[in-house]
Chain A
Amino acid sequence: MHPKRTDKIATGIIYCLVAMVIMILIFLLGYILINGVPDISWHFLTSQAQSFSAGGGIRDQLFNSIYLLILTLIISFPIAIGAGIYLAEYAKDNWITDIIRTSIEVLSSLPSVVVGLFGYLLLVNQFHFGFSILSGAIALTFFNLPLLTRNIEESLNAVPNLQKEAGISLGLSEWKTITKIIIPEALPGILTGVILSSGRVFGEAAALIYTAGQSAPEVSYTNWNIFSASSFLNPMRPAETLAVHIWKVNTESVTPDAHIISAGSSAVLIIVILLFNLSARFIGNRIYKKITAAK
């Protein structure tokens, strides 16, 4: 066949493939939103889940998801930033660094169900944390750490070396240079990464089934005592998140309106994740404009 014709055909096929992928996404989002949004009501968001009758809401699951996300970030962010600084600034090019990078790669490619099972083994059974928000948050930390570390390392590396040289030549210690010059400069990139990883944590379920548990006991939102079993702040209580809830009502529960609940919950989940994505994009763009002076 004539090369020009092959070129045309190939280009056509590629356009088709691209169009199909875009259509898949539009279809997926459309399906979730069109099916789910009509089911979202104030009642749905603010009432308790029902196990045997229709009309249950997702109040506790929604709160648990958010609480778990915050706890996970509190635990994982400091470790990730320390590790990120190490990799970006201190790590030498030798076998130790090689081992470190390999272990981070291994950690990031572990199936989340394996991470969840490990959490079950170590936290729930060995440390006697039980099925609790804390166990869940630590398990999610394993899952979140490699992604966050790599993102922070990349953001730190993206800061021009001149900045560091200038800091050091002013007589600042290396640590001061890093904390006072490089980190502020890299902050936007780090922030974008944190928001994107929050989206992933928010929707994660496999690692949570056997760490945070699948039950959402009744909690009181007026009890601020963090040690009380019925307090909404107590990190030692079992907590079912939104994503786990969707999985459960579809596979194990006997709720008659499972389809409505999962459609509504999926829509809530997707909307939250869309918001995360949009805000990450927005922050990224704004910072890019600020740095490059492009209007």
Chain B
Amino acid sequence: MDDIQKKLQQSSKATRQERLGKSICYTCIGLIILLVACILYFIASKGIATFTRDHVNIWQFLTTSNWEPGNLDSKGRPMIGALPMIVTSFSVTLLAALVATPFAIGVAIFMTEISARNGAKFLQPVIELLVGIPSVVYGFIGLSLIVPFIRNIFGGTGFGILSGTLVLFVMVLPTITSLTVDSLKSVPMHYRQASLALGATRWQTIYKVILRAATPGILTAIIFGMARAFGEALAVQMVIGNALLMPKNLVSPASTLTSKLTTDIGNTVMGTLPNDALWSLALILLLMSLIFNMIVRFLGKRGNIKNAS
């Protein structure tokens, strides 16, 4: 009797499998969340040590332009001003996005509105390949082609924001393009039909209807591109010149947050002020990446409402 009861009340093999499988999946997803939490926690706790443990003024950190973490200034405060790096990082990012956007929109329009067939056949692989080229290779090409080219035209060393921009432009181009393509594709077909039926030319339709309808999506694409440009390290580091100066013009050597991090973090001792200061730069990078993320979410929400109404 007991045997039968036991058999009946026991969960079947399938149920046990189901539970096991489900728990494996839940563990995996839990692991990913844990990972993100870990990254945020570790970088943040290291990054604010400069301000909590070493008592550096945040305002001074963000707005002064002397970076000599080993030395003290006349008032006895450590000289860590990250302004030059912040300015350079933002300049290369904005300029790269500015140069890349027209190209990206042009290619995306071609792929969705003008010749979808050729777009899928030739441009899709082009974009995939541009994504596939590793950043060090971009850096190497920048170093051996763009830097000498700029040196010949503008003089100076050739290293600087302009070289960084040109390298980053090619790197963010595929990101912006493929996302713009997605947003153009999501514009409903009847918008085009209605506009063409009213007698508008193809360009009028594209310019006045499709691009307007896809604006939130295109902005999202640009922000994604900027996020990529802002976080890019090696390619920029190879062509920017890595001088800790306030950038005076586009062709003087400068250094970005990422380039400073990659060159210096190995040369400082863990737990000392120069090292903490570098972690604070990493924290800025992390925060910027989160901010870009939030902007994308915000734009996405606005875009949705627009489409629904």
A→B interface (CB under 8 Å)? 3-4, 6-7, 10-11, 13-18, 20-22, 24-25, 28-29, 31-32, 78-83, 85-87, 89-90, 99-100, 102-107, 109-115, 117-118, 120-122, 125, 142, 145-146, 149, 172-176, 178-179, 196, 199-200, 202-206, 209-210, 243-244, 246-247, 250-251, 259, 262-263, 266, 269-270, 273-274, 276-277, 281
Tell me, in angstroms, the Cα distance from A51 to B245 when the chains sit together.
Answer: 31
Is there a chain A Cβ closer than 8 Å to B35's Cβ?
Answer: yes
Known A-B contacts A111-B230, A113-B231, A203-B132; the reply to A18 vs B106 at CB < 8 A is yes
Asked whether, in the complex, the Cβ of B173 is within 8 Å of the Cβ of A117, the reply is no
Which residue on B lies nearest to A179, using beta carbons?
A: B21
Per-residue A-contact encoding for B118-151, CB less than 8 Å = 1, 0 else:
0000110110111111111101110111000000
Tell me, in angstroms, the Cα distance from A22 to B260 when the chains sit together.
Answer: 33
Asked whether, in the complex, the Cβ of B286 is within 8 Å of the Cβ of A114, the reply is yes
Query: Which of A81, A83, A175 interacts with B32 by CB under 8 Å?
Result: A83
Tell me, in angstroms, the Cα distance from A99 to B32 when the chains sit together.
Answer: 11
Asked whether, in the complex, the Cβ of A14 is within 8 Å of the Cβ of B144, the reply is no
Task: Report 10 cross-chain contacts, Cβ distance below 8 Å, ordered by A residue.
Answer: A99-B33, A100-B29, A102-B297, A109-B231, A109-B293, A110-B286, A121-B43, A173-B14, A175-B14, A178-B21
Asked whether, in the complex, the Cβ of B126 is within 8 Å of the Cβ of A25, the reply is yes
Question: How far apart are A142's CB and chain B's nearest CB, in angstroms?
Answer: 6
Known A-B contacts A79-B28, A82-B25, A99-B33; the reply to A114 vs B110 at CB < 8 A is no
Tell me, in angstroms, the Cα distance from A277 to B134 when the chains sit together.
Answer: 13
**Besides A115-B39, A205-B234, 9 other A-B contacts (C-beta < 8 A):** A11-B202, A17-B102, A28-B141, A85-B25, A90-B26, A179-B21, A250-B140, A250-B143, A262-B144
Contacts of B20 in A (CB 8 A): 175
B→A interface (CB under 8 Å)? 14-15, 17-18, 20-22, 24-29, 31-33, 35-39, 42-43, 46, 102-103, 106-107, 109-110, 114, 122-123, 125-126, 128-137, 139-141, 143-145, 170, 173, 177, 200-204, 206-207, 224, 227, 230-234, 237-238, 258, 261-263, 265-266, 270, 279, 282, 285-286, 289-290, 292-293, 297
Contacts of A106 in B (CB 8 A): 36, 289-290, 293
Tell me, in angstroms, the Cα distance from A116 to B283 when the chains sit together.
Answer: 13
Contacts of B200 in A (CB 8 A): 3
Asked whether, in the complex, the Cβ of A18 is within 8 Å of the Cβ of B110, the reply is yes
Contacts of A99 in B (CB 8 A): 33
Contacts of B232 in A (CB 8 A): 111
Known A-B contacts A90-B25, A175-B18; the reply to A109 vs B289 at CB < 8 A is yes
Asked whether, in the complex, the Cβ of A203 is within 8 Å of the Cβ of B126, the reply is no
Asked whether, in the complex, the Cβ of B114 is within 8 Å of the Cβ of A11, the reply is yes
Contacts of A117 in B (CB 8 A): 43, 261, 265, 279, 282
Contacts of B261 in A (CB 8 A): 113, 117
Known A-B contacts A83-B28, A121-B42, A203-B133; the reply to A90 vs B128 at CB < 8 A is no
Contacts of B35 in A (CB 8 A): 107, 142, 145
Contacts of A269 in B (CB 8 A): 134, 136-137
Contacts of B234 in A (CB 8 A): 205-206, 247
